[in-house]
A and B are shown apart, each in its own frame.
Chain A
Amino acid sequence: MIEFRRVTKTYSTGTTALRDVSFTIENGEFVFIIGRSGAGKSTLIKLLTCEERPSTGQVLIDRFDVSKIKRRYVPYLRRNIGMVFQDFRLIHTKSVFQNVAFAMEIVGSSMKAIKRRVPIVLSIVGLRDKALVRPRMLSGGEQQRVAIARAMVNNPMLLLADEPTGNLDPTNSEAIMALLEQINRSGTTIIICTHDRDLVDRMKKRVIEIDDGNLVRDDCQGGYAQTNPACPAHQSQTERPADDLFRPEAVS
């Protein structure tokens, strides 16, 4: 479960990106974070990956307060979070297989495990036959599928996607969303930041809207603009120190 407790983030420049934001996301949920550019969506993701720390408030993942996690444990937290970006962020000097295998190498998987797992993941995203191709030879949709394969190869508990369909045509966007939905059905929590109105309206998932740093809407099965009944408030639980969970021996 992910919980934001009265989180405010003010950057050193004086810009306040989030103001007193509180919400809870249960395990296995599929959530859209929407809002205009500069509304605070990316800051929200950065707080989850510990790229930024909240100025006040707490960010909890499975009751562990990650806003206080020691810097050296951040990599171990990130191994539990898959990330997908608008610009794919693939390594163009490596093949599709190597791009996905790379994420497993970093967490210390054996070559045997890599050779067994990567083809399976590539099959799931429909790119098994392109394992040896360099990313530049692929279409935008295919590149994003490689990025999703890389994000899911380590079985993360949470998958964060920042505008995953921003560079894709409607057909490819649809395919990517179907893939993310499929991953979600296997139990992975999915959080997607997006501007794509049609997609949000069609998917009928939970929508959290941020405007000028404030949480202005939290709808279950909402649309981009429509307002549906708000999600029931989740019960807050006592937090545990995050370093206990994300220290190397706990993650292995």
Chain B
Amino acid sequence: MRTTLLRHSLSEGFNNLVRHPLVTLASITTIALMLFLLGAFTLFSVNARQMMARAGEQPPVEITLEIGVTAEEISAIEADLASNPNIREYTLFTPEQNFETFKANLGKDELFADFSADYIPHTYAIRLHDPAGSEDFKSHMEGLPGVRKVDLELKVMEFLSKAIVWVNYATLTAFAVLGVVAFFIISNMVRVAVFARGDEINIMKYVGATNWYIRIPYILEGAVTGLLGGGLAWLTAYVIYTRLYETVAANTVPTDVLAMIAPSELASTVLLLNVGLGIGIGALGSAVSVRRYIKV
């Protein structure tokens, strides 16, 4: 029985696909569009999360002390930092160390041959446990003697954090809207197929075909449509992402905060997502509509 059912389902399912090529094409295109947008949002979200993670590895808070700060003032500041439970780690950089870093970044030592490190301030690089408390921390530190200013390097993180939330909302909305559209198009595709084969289905019912015998070819048809749509969406997203990656990679190093994730690392994840959802939506849309239109 199973062999016969499988053979019948496969042949009928594929025949249905080619019987109404324009309807099939419309369904594949709609699913592909929906899954492409989903893939694009996913790629953005994954990259944004990586950028956030890298940005988090950079010291997010920098305290600049007054030039000529006294040793007592530095001790008081250090004691304050050591007693703050929100501080994960802190490092003091002397004027000499900062001067060396400055020269190294500029790459022209000869310009600073007569320059004294006395004009460079002490600084602290600080990493917080909870970035949400950074504004309070800034106000507190700026009130201490010897502190000139406190810089928060959280702008990029804040932007990325907000962007991820909006991308998630947009992904969900786009997925819901396009999912409904895809569902109705697939439903229509199955309805056309069912109407075109109404007599045949009636005959099948009269000779004792079970519900599943009649329904499985349509569900298979939906699943194959979803598979093709998902595959097309993945291919489009992959090609565009690779082009974008090559363009961005030309201007960044892989360890840079703004460096994108390599296409090869994401290809299988997005493929699974697109194809899995495509098959799921296609099969589900068909199953629901075939149940509605075939009263077995």
Contacts and interface: CB of A to CB of B under 8 A. Distances in A.
Contacts of B199: 89, 91
Interface in A48-101: 49, 72, 75-79, 83, 89-91
B7 to A, nearest CB: 8
B138 interface: no
A84 to B, nearest CB: 10
Interface in B209-235: 209-211, 213
A108 interface: yes
Interface stretch (B156-164, B200-208, B263-271): B200-208
A107 interface: yes
Interface in B50-109: none
B209 A106 contact: yes
Contact of A102 (B3, B202, B207, B211): B207
A106 B204 contact: yes
A136 to B, nearest CB: 13
Contact of B203 (A72, A79, A89, A154): A89
B195 to A, nearest CB: 15
Nearest to A49: B206
Contact of A106 (B3, B208, B211, B296): B208
Contacts of A91: 199-200, 203
B255 to A, nearest CB: 62
Most chain A CB inside 10 Å of its own CB: which residue of B204, B207, B213, B296? B207
B4 interface: yes
Contacts of A217: none
What is the interface residue range for chain B against chain A?
A: 10 to 19
A37 interface: no
A250 to B, nearest CB: 14
B291 interface: no
B4 A79 contact: no
B203 A75 contact: no
B4 A78 contact: no
A75 B8 CA distance: 17
A75 B208 contact: yes
A193 to B, nearest CB: 15
Contacts of A89: 199, 202-203, 206
B1 interface: yes
29 contacts: A72-B211, A75-B205, A75-B211, A76-B208, A78-B205, A78-B206, A78-B207, A79-B207, A79-B208, A83-B206, A83-B207, A89-B199, A89-B203, A91-B199, A91-B200, A91-B203, A102-B204, A103-B207, A105-B4, A105-B8, A106-B208, A106-B209, A106-B213, A107-B207, A107-B208, A108-B5, A110-B4, A111-B4, A154-B207
Given A78-B205, A78-B208, A110-B3, 6 more contacts: A75-B211, A79-B208, A91-B200, A108-B1, A109-B4, A154-B207
